[in-house]
Each structure stands twice: as structure tokens, then as C-alpha cells.
Amino acid sequence: MHASFTHRLFAGAAAIGIVLSLAGPAAAEDAANQATAWVRVNEIGYLPDDPKIAVLSSAEPLQGAFTVGEFTADIGADCGAWGPFAHNYRLDFTKMRKPGRYRVHFGDVASPEFPIAADAYARVPGKLLDFMRLQRCGDNPVTGKKCHQQDAIDVETGKHVDLVGGWHDAADRIKHMITTTYCVAALKLAGADAEATYGADMVRKIHPDAETVYVQVADDRDHGLPHTLWHTDQTDYGWGPGGPRPAYPALGKPQGPKYQNASTGVASLAGRAAAALALNGDVTTAKSLYALGRSKPGAAMSVPVKAPYYYGEDSWHDDMEWAATELYVATHDRDYLAAAMDEARQAGASDWMGRDAHGHYQCFPYVNLAHWRLYPFVDEAAQRELAGFYRTGLERVRQRAEQNPYRLGTPLVWCSTNDVIAFATQAVLYEQMTGDRTFRPLAAEARDWIFGRNPWGVSFVIGVPANGVASRHPHHLMHLLDKVLPVGGLVDGPVTRKINAGLKFAPFGDDAFARFQSDVAVYHDDFEDFSTNEPIIDGTVSLLLLLHVWEHPAP
């Protein structure tokens, strides 16, 4: 099931910044156990103009200087205890701009090697898109296999509807339209036209008539044993092993045969689908979806069957704002512009920002991209409102972030990487809108958290960087059964110990990161830990968009 213990121990030792010789496994284990200090950096690297802050953490108080190439500075003040570490120091080497490959050194402790370069991130977007192609359902270009060719049977009417295609949502085989609709829109905004076009075909299919939009294909019966690959899926949904799968139309009210969601309408799903299709040139279907959303305000949630877990998105004004904005961009009909600003005022600031926690996908998609898309088309007073909504949320996160050495200000909930990326994206977009760079340093620190500057010293993007410390034993069936590492997938990321314990259904393997777990947060690079180590398509696409807007102005 997993790589050898020796391999995992070596990876864990590299994660804590220890330079090992080619000694045997016993020597490596001894070195890991004897370490008392670690340096965390962004393993992908830094753009020359980036803020550059490493974190030095230790069991004992430290003093002295650190070096990065020719740069030397004092480690500075002890920031105090946080998570698994009693002492933490923020090492600022922002002044280092010279391109090259470096390590941060403090005495005998060294960070992983990283570049400072204008093209430091050049290869990452391609890896993220590789993962999206691997996730394709129907006819997979990576495996060369077809799957789920009988999707799907409408659970309300019993009729067959063509819902072949789209993406498998995560490690399982369910297709969630909550995430698919967002991915199609965000892919287009990130310049990934080919993958956006592929996904748009599925979004078009989920709206076969004026009164229908499907929220989900298949359900959690998919999770049962035995594990199988997508193209060998033999799940029986009542029409025979490997037969058709159920399609759930959003009904605008609670759904589920045993456990029920808390759906209140369809506007969240219909609005986001409308935005996705308008961005991809299908204005006619987008208008129909927008009208459906207007007629059935409220949020559509995914449908649980075996277990009580579901995507509990409860916001929808942001999605209808996005739909109206993209329809205005496509048609120049000012009625859409007025409607978009009305929805924007009701959406306001993202209320998850500043919280300790929120429900599973409760605030999806976490960053309101509609405020940014709408901004260029409204007058100065409205622009101040939109920018103010962003600034309010960013300020709430800033106040939390400044209380810990990693400057993490977002909740450590299930799929926490989504929140981290949403904050960073909103900060960059706010800067584009206003020219105010107040939040850019925190955005950089959030991005750095994703790529290794975290207590575990691990990149949460599977196999990226290829020669670094990254998730390599993800909760993904292609890796478990076919030994194919789903490189480029962003995993859920750390959660509080309490959340992790509540979602543990099987023993974890050997924990290379045991020293770095705490009540604050845990992360396991293990197949069994689906709460921290399962890749998600929406998070992967969100990261792609963040990297795009970081270096590109608005389209």
C-alpha cells in the first residue's frame, strides 16, 4: 500500500531540514530523532520581488545569525510557541533578489534548497492541469480508458439523461456539480481554455431544460469496498454492478433518503453554472440558468446517502452576482449590471474570513470572484463598495494571522488549503483593483504555506516539486491500486486534531511527521487520511488561478 519505511523516513528527515549522508536507515532515524531545530521555506521558490520569510522553529530558545547565500541577518525575536514548536523565529531575507539556488542556514540546520527566479513557478501550472486531465470522467486521456459510460438515471423521474463526462471530484468517483461549475469558470479566468472547454460541456448537460439543474452524479455508495479504479467501477446503485449511476436534480429543498442536506434553493448552483457558461461563450444556456436561479433563490447542497457528510454550501448571492456580471460582459445589457451590483451588496464581505471554523464547503467558493469581475464596469462609488468588501475580509484574516509566526489567518478546517488560497487570491485581486499593496506580504506567506513553509515542511501539491518534500502517499485510488502518483493535485491540507480524529476510519501508517503534529493542526502523508491528504479539483484549480493572477492583470 505504501512505499517502504526507509523511503518515508528519509522524506521526513528532508522535510525537517536535516542534510543526511548516504548512511543507512538506522543513521537516518537517529538524525531525525536528535534534531531540535528546523527551517521551513517555500520549496517552489520566490520571485525576485517577493517578500521572503523563512520560519526557524525549535524546542529550545535560539539566538544568532542566519545566512542565505551572501546575505546574513540576525534571527530576530522569539515569536513564542505555536503548534508543535516552543520557539519560532521569522527569518526575513526579502532583500535577496539575485537569481540562484539557495538554502537558509542557521548553524548546522539547513532548509531544503529553493530558487529565487523570475520563472520559479513556470512549471507548476502544467502540473496542476495534468491532475485535472487525470480526473476526467468518461474518456480519460491519461489512462486511455473509458469509464461511467451509462451516466446517469434521474432519481426523481427514473429517466436516463446524458451526463457522461466532467471530472471525478476527488479520490472517489462522484461528480459534484458544486465544484465542477466553479472549476470551469476559474479555469477560463486562469487562461486554461482547453480544460475549461472540456468542463463546459458537462455544465451544459446538467441543465437539460429550463426547470432542471443537476447537482450530483453518483453518491457515497461509491466509497464502499473493494477499492477499484474508475474504469473498473462495479458499484451497484440498483441497476446492476457497474451499471448506470444516479443523477440528483437540485430540488431547492432538503434531499437524501436517510440523511438529508439543508438545501434552500438552486441559485448557488444555477448562478455559478451560468457564470461558467457565459465565460465560455454559451450565453443562451447561461441566460436560462440565471433565470432558474432567480426563480429559486437559495443554496443547493450535495446529497448524502450512506453517511451524513455533504457539501453544505449556504451562500448564493455571490454566485448570482457572478452570473449577472458575466452576462453583462457578454451582452452589455445594463439590466444585468444593475442586478449584479444589487447581488454584490447582499453578498458583501465573505463572512468566513476571520472565523475559527466553518462548515464543510459552507462558504464555497471562499473567494467572491464576482466582486473583482464586476469592479471595472461600475462607477467610483460602487468600486469603493466592492473594494471595501474585499478589504473587510482581508483585514479580519490579517488580525488572526499576526498572532502566529506562520502568519496563518484562515481556519484549519476540512479542505483548509481552499481557505488559504482564497485569502491569497483575494489579496492579489484587491491590489489589482485598488493599487493598495497592504495585503501582498500576507498573500505571499499564505502561498508559501501551501508549498512547504508550514510546520511539516511539506508541499501540499502532490509530487511538486519533484525533488522536494511533497505529498507522495495521497488518498487517491490511482496511486493505491495502479501506482500512478496523481502529480499536481492539491490535497485537503491540515486540520485540527479534533477534526482529524473524528474522520479517522482506518489506522494510519508510519507517520514521518509525528514530531510536528499538535492540537492546533495535524497532517499525514498517508492514504488512509482522507481528511488531510485527499486531492481536490476545486482547490487545484483555485491554486492555478492564484498563480495566474499573481503575475497577470485582469483580462
Q: What pLDDT sits at residue 553?
A: 67
Grid cell, residue 405, equals 509566526
Q: Burial letters for 487-519: b for 16+ Cβ neighbours within 10 Å, e otherwise?
A: bbbbbbbbbbeebbeeeeeeebbebbbebbbbe
pLDDT, average across residues 487-496: 97
The total domain count for the chain is 3
Question: Which residue pairs, CB below 8 angstroms and at least 24 apart, start in 90-93?
Answer: 90/53, 90/54, 90/55, 90/56, 90/405, 91/39, 91/53, 91/54, 91/55, 91/56, 91/66, 92/51, 92/52, 92/53, 93/52, 93/53, 93/54, 93/66, 93/68
Q: Is residue 515 part of a domain?
A: no
Q: Which residues contact 486 (CB under 8 A, 6 or more apart)?
A: 131, 134, 462, 463, 474, 476, 478, 479, 535
What confidence tier does 34 reach under pLDDT thresholds 50, 70, 90? Answer: low
pLDDT tens per residue, range 5-22: 222 222 333 333 323 222
Whether 23 and 80 share a structural domain: no
pLDDT of residue 182: 98
d(CA 11, CA 509): 14
Distance of CA 191 to the CA centre of its chain: 18
CA gap 183, 542 in Å, rounded: 8
Of 33-37, 187-191, 214-218, the one with minimum mean pLDDT is 33-37
**DSSP single-letter state for residue 307:** S
Residue 30 clears pLDDT 60, i.e. is over it:
no
467 assigned to some structural domain: no
State the Cα angle at 511 between 462 and 103, rounded to 5°.
Answer: 60
Distances (CA, A) of 397 to 313, 350, 401, 442: 21, 11, 6, 9
Long-range pairs, 241-244, Cβ under 8 A, ≥24: 243/150, 244/150, 244/151, 244/152, 244/153, 244/160
Among 58, 93, 120, residue at a domain's last position: 120
pLDDT of res. 21: 27
Confidence of residue 28 (pLDDT cuts 50, 70, 90): very low
Whether residues 196 and 280 fall in one domain: yes
Pairwise pLDDT comparison (31 vs 416), residue with the higher score:
416
Q: Are residues 178 and 111 in the same domain?
A: no
Q: Report the distance separating Cα 296 and Cα 171, nearest Å.
A: 32
Q: Domain of 113?
A: 37-120
| Mean pLDDT within 80-85 | 97
Position 192 scores a pLDDT of 98
438 and 544: one domain?
yes
Q: Cell numbers of 310, please?
A: 455533504
One domain for residues 350 and 309: yes
Separation of first and last alpha carbons in the chain: 45
pLDDT of residue 10: 27
Query: All 3 cell numbers of residue 226?
Result: 473493494
Same domain flag for 412 and 292: yes
Instruction: Mark whether 221 and 355 lie in a shared domain.
Output: yes
Longest dimension (CA), the chain: 72
How sure is the predictor about 152, in pLDDT bands with cuts at 50, 70 and 90? Answer: very high
Q: Which of 500, 490, 475 is nearest to 420 (CA)?
A: 490
Q: Tell whether 290 is covered by a domain.
A: yes
Per the document, the length of the chain is: 555
Q: What's the pLDDT band for 510 if we cut at 50, 70, 90?
A: confident
Judged against a pLDDT cut of 70, whether residue 530 lies above it is answered with yes
pLDDT tops 50 at residue 286 = yes
**Whether 111 and 171 share a structural domain:** no
Mean pLDDT (whole number) for 462-486: 94
Whether 507 maps to a domain, the answer reads: no
Which of 120, 138, 169 is the C-terminal boundary of a domain? 120
Give the model's confidence band at 227: pLDDT under 50 very low, under 70 low, under 90 confident, else very high: confident
Which of residues 99, 120, 141 is at a domain's end?
A: 120
Average pLDDT on 362-387 reads 98
Percentage of the chain exceeding pLDDT 70: 93
Q: What is the mean pLDDT of the chain?
A: 92
Per-residue pLDDT at 555: 54
Q: How much is the average pLDDT of 76-82?
A: 97
Residue 164 burial (10 A CB sphere; 0-12, 13-18, 19+): buried
Q: Say if 526 falls within a structural domain.
A: no
Amino acid 381 reads A
CATH code (residue 116): 2.60.40.10
Q: Residue 300: is its pLDDT beyond 50?
A: yes
**Residue showing cell 511539506:** 458
Is residue 199 domain-shared with residue 51, that is, in the same domain? no
Place 224 in a pLDDT band, splitting at 50, 70 and 90: confident
CATH no. for residue 416? Answer: 1.50.10.10
Q: Is residue 468 in a domain?
A: no
What pLDDT does 11 receive? 31
Q: Are residues 354 and 436 in the same domain?
A: yes
Question: Which tops the pLDDT comparison, 286 or 484?
Answer: 286
Burial (Cβ within 10 Å: 0-12, 13-18, ≥19) of residue 73 = middle
pLDDT of residue 554: 59
Residue 491 binned pLDDT confidence (cut-offs 50, 70, 90)? very high
Is 113 in the same domain as 230? no
User: Quick one: cell of 86?
Assistant: 516552543
Q: What is the mean pLDDT of residues 477-490?
A: 92
Q: Give the pLDDT mean for 354-366.
A: 96
Q: Are residues 309 and 251 in the same domain?
A: yes
Q: Is residue 475 part of a domain?
A: no
Mean pLDDT, residues 440-462 taken together: 98
In a domain, 478, yes or no: no
